[in-house]
């Protein structure tokens, strides 16, 4: 099925399934039902079956899903069965936290370059990476075959940084700056904004 036929909500649930399935695998659990996944993740089992059925017939009726097989399939669907290199721009507290977190993960998404426009930070290291100036972005992204980028700069700088990244050939951006990034190019941009997340949480207050 083509990516554009799948809703973003489904695409955002797949990593959640993957995380739980990986946990099960570590616990040496070999088979799991949509009921069990649903109970743990607080998602309707019918929704889970529908999400997965959009990509193929992975389960066995009355038995459930083979954990290892489903992990491989979801990794294929998400295209993370290959190494994907990531750049991070803006090494403040948040950028720091993300680099450190990434350094000890054992998956295929890897931050391999960090940039900051502050000369005082350039040359310092974060999670084993030397912080580089923004004018090295083009060359580094090409040389290291970096495909995704994380933006953790202030709101006022985010659009400019995104433009530079897209010009350098980045295919997708995860933006933490509290501003909507626009592009005419064929680049996927996801926004993660703490303020917006808190505001949507407030909706559910009694």
Q: Which residues pair with 151 in a beta bridge?
A: 89, 175
Q: Which is nearer to a copy of itself, 61 or 93 (CB)?
A: 93
Residues 123 to 142: which contact a copy of itself by CB under 8 A? none
Tell me the closest approach of the beta carbon of residue 192 to a copy of itself, in angstroms.
6
Among 1, 5, 42, 62, binds a copy of itself (CB under 8 A): 42
The DSSP output letter for 65 is E
The stretch near a copy of itself (CB under 8 A) out of 13-21, 44-52, 60-68, 135-143 is 13-21
Q: Which is nearer to a copy of itself, 61 or 82 (CB)?
A: 82
Query: What is the SS3 string spanning 70-106?
Result: HHHHHHHHHCCCCCEEEEEECCCHHHHHHHHHHHCCC
The DSSP output letter for 117 is S
Using a 10 angstrom Cβ sphere, with 0-12 exposed, 13-18 middle and 19 or more buried, the burial of residue 25 is: middle
- List of long-range contacts for 131-137, beta carbons under 8 Å, 24+ apart: 131/91, 134/89, 134/161, 134/164, 137/87, 137/89, 137/164, 137/165, 137/168
| Closest residue by Cα to residue 75 from 99, 107, 32, 110 | 107
The stretch near a copy of itself (CB under 8 A) out of 128-136, 137-145, 156-164, 178-186 is 178-186
Joined tokens for residue 178: 């509290």
Q: Which is nearer to a copy of itself, 41 or 117 (CB)?
A: 41
Does residue 169 belong to the site contacting a copy of itself (CB under 8 A)?
Answer: no
Tell me the closest approach of the beta carbon of residue 122 to a copy of itself, in angstroms.
19
Q: Which is nearer to a copy of itself, 4 or 62 (CB)?
A: 4
Does residue 92 belong to the site contacting a copy of itself (CB under 8 A)?
Answer: yes
φ, ψ of residue 67 in degrees (nearest 5): -60, -50
Interface map 70-89 toward a copy of itself (x if CB under 8 A): -------xxxx---x-x---
Between CA 117 and CA 46 the distance in angstroms is: 48
Question: Count residues contacting a copy of itself (CB under 8 A)?
Answer: 62
Contacting residues toward a copy of itself, per CB under 8 A: 3, 6, 8-9, 11-12, 14-16, 18-20, 40-42, 77-80, 84, 86, 92-94, 96-98, 100-102, 105, 107, 109, 147-148, 150, 171-174, 178-180, 182, 188, 190-206
């Amino acid at each position: 099925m083509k990516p554009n036929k799948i809703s973003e909500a489904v695409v955002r649930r797949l990593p959640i399934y993957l995380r739980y399935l990986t946990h099960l695998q570590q616990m040496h659990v070999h088979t799991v039902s949509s009921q069990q996944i649903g109970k743990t993740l607080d998602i309707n089992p019918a929704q889970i079956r529908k999400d997965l059925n959009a990509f193929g017939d992975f389960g066995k009726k009355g038995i459930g899903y083979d954990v290892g097989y489903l992990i491989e399939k979801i990794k294929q669907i998400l295209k993370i069965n290959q190494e994907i290199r990531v750049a991070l721009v803006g090494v403040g507290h948040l950028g720091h936290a993300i680099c450190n977190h990434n350094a000890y993960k054992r998956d295929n998404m890897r931050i391999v370059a960090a940039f900051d426009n502050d000369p005082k930070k350039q040359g310092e290291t974060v999670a084993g990476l030397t912080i580089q100036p923004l004018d090295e972005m083009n060359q580094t992204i090409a040389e290291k075959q970096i495909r995704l980028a994380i933006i953790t700069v202030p709101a006022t700088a985010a659009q400019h940084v995104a433009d530079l990244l897209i010009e350098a050939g980045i295919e997708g951006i995860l933006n933490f700056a509290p501003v909507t990034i626009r592009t005419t190019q064929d680049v996927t941009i996801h926004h993660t904004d703490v303020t917006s997340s808190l505001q949507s949480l407030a909706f559910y207050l009694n």
